[in-house]
Chain A
Amino acid sequence: MSNVLVVIGHGMVGHRFVRELRARDRDRSWRVVVLAEEPVPAYDRLHLSERARGAPEAQLSLPGADFASDDGVELRLATRAVRIDREAREVLCADGARVRYDALVLAAGSRPFVPPVPGHDLPGCHVYRTLADVAAIRAAARPGRTGVVVGGGLLGLEAAGALQALGMRPHVVEGAPWLMPLQLDEGGGAVLGRQVTELGVAPHCGVGLKSVDAGPDGTASSVTLADGTVLDTSLVVFSTGVRPRDELAADAGLNTGERGGFHVDGHCRTADERIWAVGECAAVDGRCFGLVTPGYRMAESVASTLTGETPAPLSDPDLSTELKLLGVAVASFGDAHARTAGAMEYIHTSGAGDRYAKLVLDATGNTLLGGVLAGDSSSYGRLRSLLGHRLPGAPEGLLGAAL
């Protein structure tokens, strides 16, 4: 008789987890129940912006996402888990259903964080995380008008690109002195800022959002920045970071990390040996990761544990990112900010400052630890694959086309 494995959340990582588990579980020791809050099966969130630009939803589908041909998996869509009863080993759903588990994997992802500025919840304010969010933005977009994206990180720029594709004139408000501050250093940020400006996106860096202001009809009609600038707009997209969805932790008596997320060990296990957490909702040794690749590593690890293997604890994840939208090439990989002890930085700027490349090297100057590319990221794949390895030759040759 097989045991029941309940998965809460059917996002990118939850789906990868179930696929991994099904591929490994040859003797079908688990029967899987997936509780999915969204009304659709998991989809490719990374390419959400393509949907914003009008690509059909089908283009975002993930292989095998509906488990139609897999009788070992029961996918319950539009079903939110509201409580975990660890004693009874049951998950309670919003529709009143109870599902007993032998093992429970939390894959609830994150929710957008919206700063509590005045007016943040007026009609006209949006977030950018789900297909439903994108549908709302598409419905609200007005070609030719100004749209304001709050937050100049990777997602904020994606949102700006989406607004532009919808015919709007996007402005991006970023509190840090340059765009994509988490990934880029000052030099890379400068190249990015120049290039997005040329492409018609107006960045406002080093200034925070003071308020979203309502018009006579009670919907958003403008935003005010900390420096007094007023931008007239009826569409505001908040892209100011995410918070792990750990709201089931408190009731269930599960620990959370300092910055939220279900606290798990290097094997993604909570203090309860029957409960794991993977993806953005997991705080591995206290740390959450807002990217999909670390989540995939977690999914693989838990899938192999549950099928009787003993995987090595997770190693430091790869936090590389590349922005492909807006025709701007920027990428950051590995230790982009040279935080490794003894690391040195080698920075090459060319093309009248249009191309910027930084390599972070170890103390010997020959091992690649990370880097930043802006203006031309054609060497990204190569450099990323060389992380932790000795450079094959002089940096100029490696940056190759980037020069």
Chain B
Amino acid sequence: MSDADVDTAERIVVAGYGPAAHRLVERLAHRGHGGAVTVLGAEPEPAYQRPLLTSVVDGTLPSGALRLPAAPEGVRLLLGVTATAVDRERRLVHSDDGRSHPYDRLVLATGAAPRLPDLPWLHGSDGQLPAGVRVLRTLDDTAALAGAAPVTVVGGGPLAVEAVLALRRLGRDVTLVHRGPYPLDRHLDPRAGELLSARLRALDVDLCLGRTARAYADGKLRLDDGRCVAAHDVLLCTGAAPRDGLARSAGLAVDGGVFVDDELRTDDPRVHAIGDCARPAGPAGSYGGHTTAWEQAETLALLLTGDDFPPARSRPVLRLRARELDLVRLGAPDGADETVVLADAARGRYARLSLRDNRVCGAVLLGLDRAIAAVARLYQRGEPVPADRLALLLGAAPEYAGEELPGDVVVCHCSNVTGTDLEAAWQAGARTPAALTAATRASTGCGSCGDELRRWCTEFVRREEAVSA
């Protein structure tokens, strides 16, 4: 986009008022956009930090604490108003309060809606969820999760795990039903998954893995193995689907999200999409989350106010928000030429670093809080990792013994010869590896200690030289 294309007095209409829209209008004002900005937000609330919803569920934060800063002055904010149709010919957005809003640029920021699993018992004839079945996407959804009765969470993604932990914090009995082999199976390798499962079980979460829910009645959820689990409520955390209905009915190209190019344009150059509702080029699922939403909002604000240089994309980071469990996934293991794993089952800690040219290209870290900070920094900056990766992962260098060869080590196991035995032989005049072998029988068995024997010989020479020097 060149400067000539940009009319800073353009009228901008934004559909949706979540984190993406919020960041967009804030950046537009900051960059001095001169035209009118209208925002339609379906929720009655002004924009808030959706990722913190689980803190409202467990009562650690009042709902007001999630609210994002107020929109800049001059932005026309219409809350509780839903955009219902787009007339691209006449460049009008219609809303459910009967009004229409003319635009020069339309930005779709309608986010995502909970994705419901394809289970017959969920989909009644009235299109409503059965009583007791809940989702967690909005502030409004949090109120229904406040009880004390047993609750079952269905799903195995980050939201499911965060919700499980929040509900446990409330003191509720929690069952997690997930069809995968362990929670976060799309993010973690099996060993990390096992550790995560163990951590959740230690928090008294009942894990039903490799299972799907077959029926729900009378506060009981029946699983495909016949087992019934107590579930006063069932919370579905089975993913989010981009809300692309408005774009679809306006005839824009959509398929699991509104297709956008690098400049966040849909196939209509006057219509853009950002945040969870957008589907940028690249493999499906390689995008998403509030960081992406913010970056897209910032990029679009720059482009709409005449800047050619959108900032570089940050790299994907998944971080679980739960004080019981420090878990981070960065990047992807693809293309790594070196992998380092630290598996500390006893303390429920795990790390897998995927390195390319000695730089982090992917990582999974569980329960290693110091390493999480250090590795995330190396990853974001693309800096080389230090030579001592064990120290990096443990957060501090272990107490190493130094290069001095300890005398009590068994050098030759076949003949049970220690370093001290070798030294005695050396003192008695055995001054070559062969002489040491003859004197001690070291290296007469399987022969695997030959290198060690030579190392000791060199060490004796060095010690003598050090003494005579």
For residue B390, CB closer than 8 A to chain A, the reply is yes
- With A300-B416, A318-B413, A390-B400 known to touch, is A381 a contact of B446 (CB < 8 Å)? no
A346 to B398, CA, bound (A): 13
Give the shortest distance, in Å, between A325 (CB) and chain B (any CB).
Answer: 13
A344 to chain B: closest residue by CB: B344
For residue B338, CB closer than 8 A to chain A, the reply is yes
A381 contacts B452, CB within 8 Å? yes
B409 contacts A346, CB within 8 Å? no
B401 contacts A346, CB within 8 Å? no
Q: Which A residues are CB-close (under 8 A) to B416?
A: 296-297, 300
Q: Which A residues are CB-close (under 8 A) to B345?
A: 338, 344
Interface residues of A in 378-403 (CB under 8 A from B): 378, 380-382, 384-387, 389-397
- With A342-B346, A385-B410 known to touch, is A394 a contact of B388 (CB < 8 Å)? yes
In the complex, the number of residue pairs spanning A and B with C-beta atoms less than 8 Å apart equals: 124
**Residue A296 contacts which of B389, B414, B448, B452 (CB distance < 8 angstroms)?**
B414
Give the shortest distance, in Å, between B291 (CB) and chain A (any CB).
Answer: 30
A47 to chain B: closest residue by CB: B446
For residue A66, CB closer than 8 A to chain B, the reply is no
A347 to chain B: closest residue by CB: B341
- With A350-B338, A381-B450, A382-B455 known to touch, is A293 a contact of B413 (CB < 8 Å)? yes
A345 contacts B346, CB within 8 Å? no
For residue B317, CB closer than 8 A to chain A, the reply is no
- With A364-B398, A394-B388 known to touch, is A345 a contact of B343 (CB < 8 Å)? yes
A391 to B346, CA, bound (A): 20
For residue B391, CB closer than 8 A to chain A, the reply is yes
Interface residues of A in 318-363 (CB under 8 A from B): 318, 320, 322, 331, 338, 341-352, 361, 363
A346 contacts B406, CB within 8 Å? no
Q: Which A residues are CB-close (under 8 A) to B340?
A: 346-349
- With A389-B401, A390-B399, A392-B403 known to touch, is A349 a contact of B338 (CB < 8 Å)? yes
Q: Which A residues are CB-close (under 8 A) to B349?
A: 344
Give the shortest distance, in Å, between A153 (CB) and chain B (any CB).
Answer: 17
A346 to B393, CA, bound (A): 10
Give the shortest distance, in Å, between A177 (CB) and chain B (any CB).
Answer: 13
A384 to B337, CA, bound (A): 27
Q: Which A residues are CB-close (under 8 A) to B64?
A: none
A297 to chain B: closest residue by CB: B416
B452 contacts A365, CB within 8 Å? no
Give the shortest distance, in Å, between A99 (CB) and chain B (any CB).
Answer: 30
A365 contacts B398, CB within 8 Å? yes
B352 to chain A: closest residue by CB: A347
For residue B85, CB closer than 8 A to chain A, the reply is no
A391 to B387, CA, bound (A): 15
B400 contacts A391, CB within 8 Å? yes
Q: Which A residues are CB-close (under 8 A) to B448?
A: 322, 331, 380-381, 384
B447 to chain A: closest residue by CB: A324
B400 contacts A392, CB within 8 Å? yes
Give the shortest distance, in Å, between B289 (CB) and chain A (any CB).
Answer: 29
A300 to B404, CA, bound (A): 30
For residue B36, CB closer than 8 A to chain A, the reply is no
Give the shortest distance, in Å, between A246 (CB) and chain B (any CB).
Answer: 25
B449 contacts A381, CB within 8 Å? yes
For residue A114, CB closer than 8 A to chain B, the reply is no
Give the shortest distance, in Å, between B462 (CB) and chain A (any CB).
Answer: 15
Interface residues of B in 320-372 (CB under 8 A from A): 337-347, 349
Q: Which A residues are CB-close (under 8 A) to B402?
A: 392-393
For residue B252, CB closer than 8 A to chain A, the reply is no
A385 to B450, CA, bound (A): 12
A381 to B344, CA, bound (A): 25
A341 contacts B346, CB within 8 Å? yes
Give the shortest distance, in Å, between A309 (CB) and chain B (any CB).
Answer: 15
- With A366-B399, A385-B410, A394-B388 known to touch, is A346 a contact of B342 (CB < 8 Å)? yes
For residue B293, CB closer than 8 A to chain A, the reply is no
For residue A292, CB closer than 8 A to chain B, the reply is yes
For residue A242, CB closer than 8 A to chain B, the reply is no
- With A380-B448, A396-B388 known to touch, is A293 a contact of B414 (CB < 8 Å)? yes
B452 contacts A382, CB within 8 Å? yes
B338 to chain A: closest residue by CB: A350
**Residue A389 contacts which of B342, B403, B409 (CB distance < 8 angstroms)?**
B409
A350 contacts B337, CB within 8 Å? yes
- With A297-B416, A347-B340 known to touch, is A318 a contact of B403 (CB < 8 Å)? no
A387 to B419, CA, bound (A): 13
Instruction: Give the interface size bracket for B toward A.
Output: 35 or more
A391 contacts B401, CB within 8 Å? yes
Over the window 401-428 of chain B, the binary record of Cβ atoms lying under 8 Å from chain A Cβ atoms (1 yes, 0 no) is 1111010011101111001000000000
For residue B394, CB closer than 8 A to chain A, the reply is yes
A264 to B150, CA, bound (A): 56
B338 contacts A348, CB within 8 Å? yes
For residue B308, CB closer than 8 A to chain A, the reply is no
For residue A55, CB closer than 8 A to chain B, the reply is no
Interface residues of A in 39-92 (CB under 8 A from B): 46
- With A350-B338, A352-B337, A396-B387 known to touch, is A292 a contact of B346 (CB < 8 Å)? no
B346 to chain A: closest residue by CB: A342
Q: Which A residues are CB-close (under 8 A) to B140?
A: none
A397 to B388, CA, bound (A): 8
For residue B451, CB closer than 8 A to chain A, the reply is yes
- With A390-B401, A392-B401 known to touch, is A345 a contact of B341 (CB < 8 Å)? yes
Over the window 261-294 of chain B, the binary record of Cβ atoms lying under 8 Å from chain A Cβ atoms (1 yes, 0 no) is 0000000000000000000000000000000000
Q: Which A residues are CB-close (under 8 A) to B445?
A: 292-293, 296
A318 to B416, CA, bound (A): 11
A363 to B388, CA, bound (A): 18
A12 to chain B: closest residue by CB: B445
Q: Which A residues are CB-close (under 8 A) to B337?
A: 350-352
Q: Which B residues are CB-close (under 8 A) to A380?
A: 448
A299 to B139, CA, bound (A): 75
B451 contacts A381, CB within 8 Å? yes
Q: Which A residues are CB-close (under 8 A) to B397?
A: 394
Q: Which A residues are CB-close (under 8 A) to B401?
A: 366, 389-392
Q: Which A residues are CB-close (under 8 A) to B450?
A: 381
Q: Which A residues are CB-close (under 8 A) to B410?
A: 318, 385, 387
Q: Which A residues are CB-close (under 8 A) to B388?
A: 393-396
A385 contacts B399, CB within 8 Å? no
Give the shortest distance, in Å, between A98 (CB) and chain B (any CB).
Answer: 36
**Residue A343 contacts which of B339, B346, B415 (CB distance < 8 angstroms)?**
B346
A385 contacts B452, CB within 8 Å? yes
Over the window 194-238 of chain B, the binary record of Cβ atoms lying under 8 Å from chain A Cβ atoms (1 yes, 0 no) is 000000000000000000000000000000000000000000000
Name 28 interchain pairs, CB-CB below 8 A, sorted by A.
A296-B415, A296-B416, A297-B416, A318-B410, A331-B448, A338-B343, A342-B346, A345-B344, A346-B390, A347-B340, A347-B343, A348-B339, A365-B390, A365-B394, A366-B398, A366-B399, A381-B450, A384-B413, A385-B410, A387-B410, A389-B409, A393-B400, A393-B402, A393-B403, A394-B390, A394-B400, A395-B390, A397-B387
Seen from chain A, the residues whose Cβ lies within 8 Å of a Cβ on chain B are 46, 292-293, 296-297, 300, 318, 320, 322, 331, 338, 341-352, 361, 363-366, 378, 380-382, 384-387, 389-397
* The 8 A-B residue pairs with the shortest CB-CB distance in the complex, in nearest-first order: A366-B398, A394-B388, A390-B401, A344-B344, A347-B341, A365-B398, A381-B452, A349-B339
- What 19 new A-B contacts, CB under 8 Å, besides A394-B391, A396-B389? A293-B445, A322-B448, A344-B343, A344-B345, A344-B346, A346-B340, A346-B341, A348-B341, A361-B398, A366-B401, A384-B448, A385-B410, A385-B419, A385-B452, A389-B401, A391-B401, A392-B403, A394-B400, A395-B388
